[in-house]
């Protein structure tokens, strides 16, 4: 069975098209968000979909670039899966701590732990902690790489 050989130029042009489509989607979502927020002065329930879509796109780009090693240079002894798993587990642990503290402090505002406002707060905590932990692991690995290079 013959295996098709893909031309690199064709693959790069496809990637360029996908990148342009992603930029167009981000621009349309941002314009829609701006229009609903500034021009029409609508409530948050009217533009929460755009915020969630933008957050998912940004989170995907961050995770994918972290996975591919574009944001961080990982030494050969450290596995990318270990760093991603460490980031996720650290984010979950910190999110749990902040969510419990938030629920104890503001329990009169929530109807229970399955309240939409509380769950959205937990989601925002997780996204923030994921970004913070990802940046922290970036600087930790970068520092280790510099120390390894200076020792050699």
Q: What is the DSSP string of 38-101?
A: IIS---HHHHHHHHHHHHHHHHHHHHHHHHHTSS----TTS-HHHHHHHHHHHHHHHHHHHHHH
Which element (helix H / strand E) includes 37?
Answer: none
What is the structure's pLDDT at 125?
Answer: 92
What is the structure's pLDDT at 126?
Answer: 92
DSSP secondary structure of 105-141: HTGGG-SSTT-HHHHHHHHHHHHHHHHHHHHHHHHHH
72 pLDDT higher than 60: no
Average pLDDT of the residues in 102-119 = 87
What is the structure's pLDDT at 123?
Answer: 92
What is the structure's pLDDT at 140?
Answer: 79
pLDDT digits (tens, 9 = 90+) for 8-28: 888 888 888 888 888 888 888
Half-sphere exposure of 110 (CA within 13 A, CB side): 19
What is the structure's pLDDT at 50?
Answer: 85
Q: CA–CA distance from 125 to each of 23, 92, 131 (Å)?
A: 26, 9, 10
How high does pLDDT run on average in the chain?
Answer: 81
The residues, ordered by sequence, that sit 6+ positions from 54 with a Cβ below 8 Å of its Cβ are 26, 29, 30, 33
DSSP 3-state of 7: coil
152 pLDDT higher than 70: no
pLDDT digits (tens, 9 = 90+) for 24-71: 888 888 888 888 888 788 877 787 888 888 888 888 887 787 777 666
Q: Residue holding tokens 């002894």? A: 77
What are the structural domain ranges in the chain? 1-60, 72-152
Q: Rounded to whole angstroms, how far apart are CA atoms 122 and 145?
A: 34
89 pLDDT higher than 80: yes
């Amino acid at each position: 069975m013959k295996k098709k050989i893909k031309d690199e130029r064709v693959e790069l042009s496809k990637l360029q098209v996908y990148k342009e489509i992603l930029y167009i989607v981000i621009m349309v979502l941002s314009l829609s968000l701006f229009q609903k927020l500034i021009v029409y002065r609508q409530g948050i329930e009217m533009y929460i979909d755009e915020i969630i879509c933008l957050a998912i796109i940004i989170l995907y780009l961050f995770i994918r670039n972290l996975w591919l090693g574009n944001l961080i240079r990982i030494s050969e002894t450290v596995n990318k899966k270990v760093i991603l798993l460490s980031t996720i587990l650290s984010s979950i642990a910190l999110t749990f701590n902040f969510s419990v503290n938030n629920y104890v402090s503001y329990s009169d505002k929530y109807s229970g732990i399955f309240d939409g406002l509380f769950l959205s707060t937990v989601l925002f905590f997780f996204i923030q902690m994921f970004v913070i932990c990802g940046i922290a692991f970036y600087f930790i690995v970068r520092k280790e790489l510099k120390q390894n290079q200076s020792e050699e």
